[in-house]
């Protein structure tokens, strides 16, 4: 079993897909499902869906963390795209660091490296 997709709830799915594509170089636009704004990051599909009364945008619980090869470069890229630092950075095991950011729709995402 593996995680197949991660839904990101936003006000503008197409704009969110464009933002995340810039945030994660190497992401591939996935047009396999008509009307769905999605990206492929390796085996994972990020699906950007409209926020609504049942699931809003924002910092509300689960936080996906992305493993990055160059932590400082990932921080700089996210901040240059308007992500706001939310927590950290902090030192963790094995000489690595982690930090959380909020995307332009208020959703949390983390980096570790």
pLDDT, mean of residues 5-15: 93
Q: pLDDT tens digits, residue range 47-87? A: 999 999 988 888 877 788 999 999 999 999 999 999 999 99
The rounded distance, in Å, linking the Cα atoms of 64 and 98 is 12
Place of tokens 């208020």: 106
pLDDT, mean of residues 77-103: 96
Q: pLDDT tens digits, residue range 11-32? A: 999 999 999 999 998 999 998 8
At 4, is the pLDDT very low, low, confident or very high (cuts 50, 70, 90)?
Answer: confident
The rounded distance, in Å, linking the Cα atoms of 113 and 25 is 16
pLDDT value, residue 57: 86
pLDDT value, residue 107: 93
What is the pairing mode between strands 5-10 and 44-50?
parallel
In this model, does residue 1 exceed pLDDT 80? no
The rounded distance, in Å, linking the Cα atoms of 40 and 113 is 21
The rounded distance, in Å, linking the Cα atoms of 79 and 81 is 5
In this model, does residue 10 exceed pLDDT 80? yes
In this model, does residue 104 exceed pLDDT 80? yes
pLDDT value, residue 45: 92
Residue 5: what are its φ and ψ, rounded to 5°? Answer: -150, 150
| HEC sequence for 69-92 | CCHHHHHHHHHHCCCEEEEEEEEC
- Domains of the chain (ranges; CATH) run 1-51 (3.30.720), 58-113 (3.10.180.10)
The rounded distance, in Å, linking the Cα atoms of 62 and 108 is 8
């Amino acid at each position: 079993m593996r995680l197949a997709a991660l839904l990101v709830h936003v006000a503008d799915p197409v704009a969110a897909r464009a933002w995340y594509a810039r945030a994660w170089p190497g992401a591939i636009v996935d047009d396999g499902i008509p009307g769905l704004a999605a990206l492929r990051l390796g085996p994972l599909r990020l699906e950007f869906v409209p926020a609504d009364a049942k699931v809003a945008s924002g910092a509300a619980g689960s936080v996906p963390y992305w493993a990055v090869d160059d932590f400082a470069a990932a921080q700089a890229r996210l901040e240059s795209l308007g992500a706001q630092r939310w927590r950290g950075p902090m030192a963790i095991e094995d000489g690595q660091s982690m930090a959380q950011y909020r995307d332009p729709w208020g959703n949390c995402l983390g980096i570790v490296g």
